[in-house]
């Protein structure tokens, strides 16, 4: 963590329409804030399905770093894209729980593949099958009401 902020280089890349941010080293607060800024600029500039922040290279997380990543996810959401945090090690998860850090409203996945699946499934167009079923049910209910009305008029 003694590395200067300028020496931290995180390559963000796109895959399956999603922006992936692999973090493969321990970060200082300043480095995490630089990554946050760059990520937000990329989300604002591109049309993407979502963002994956892959923390598989992070072995230790403190409250400050977790807060930065948590706020980054919320900021990305405000820009209109969902996010998934992937690659949390058992030690990082234990730290998050032990430190009583907020993880509500965050979507997590075991690995990059699972994260991509979450983001790409949530943005695929609906087939309309569910809507057809709802229309059939509504039509059946209307027909029953009409039949009741006709029966009441006959008697």
Q: What is the pLDDT of residues 21-57, one digit of tens each?
A: 999 888 899 999 999 999 999 999 998 999 999 999 9
Could you read off the pLDDT of 87-127 as tens digits, one per residue?
999 999 999 999 999 888 899 999 999 999 999 986 555 44
Measured distance CA(122)–CA(115) in Å, rounded:
11
- Full-model pTM: 0.73
Domain 5-124 has CATH 3.90.79.10: no
Residue 80 has pLDDT above 60, yes or no: yes
In angstroms, the CA 103 to CA 130 distance is 32
């Amino acid at each position: 963590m003694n590395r200067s902020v300028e020496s931290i280089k995180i390559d963000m890349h796109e895959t399956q329409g999603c922006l992936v941010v692999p973090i493969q080293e321990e970060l200082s607060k300043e480095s995490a804030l630089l990554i946050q800024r760059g990520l937000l600029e990329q989300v604002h500039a591109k049309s993407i399905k979502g963002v994956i922040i892959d923390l598989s290279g992070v072995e230790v997380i403190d409250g400050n770093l977790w807060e930065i990543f948590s706020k980054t996810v919320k900021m990305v959401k405000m820009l209109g894209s969902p996010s998934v945090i992937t690659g949390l090690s058992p030690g990082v998860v234990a730290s998050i729980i032990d430190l009583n850090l907020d993880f509500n409203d965050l979507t997590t996945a075991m690995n990059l593949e699972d994260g991509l699946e979450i983001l790409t499934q949530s943005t695929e167009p609906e087939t309309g099958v569910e809507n057809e079923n709802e229309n059939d049910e509504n039509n059946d209910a209307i027909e029953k009401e009409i039949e009741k009305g006709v029966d009441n008029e006959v008697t």
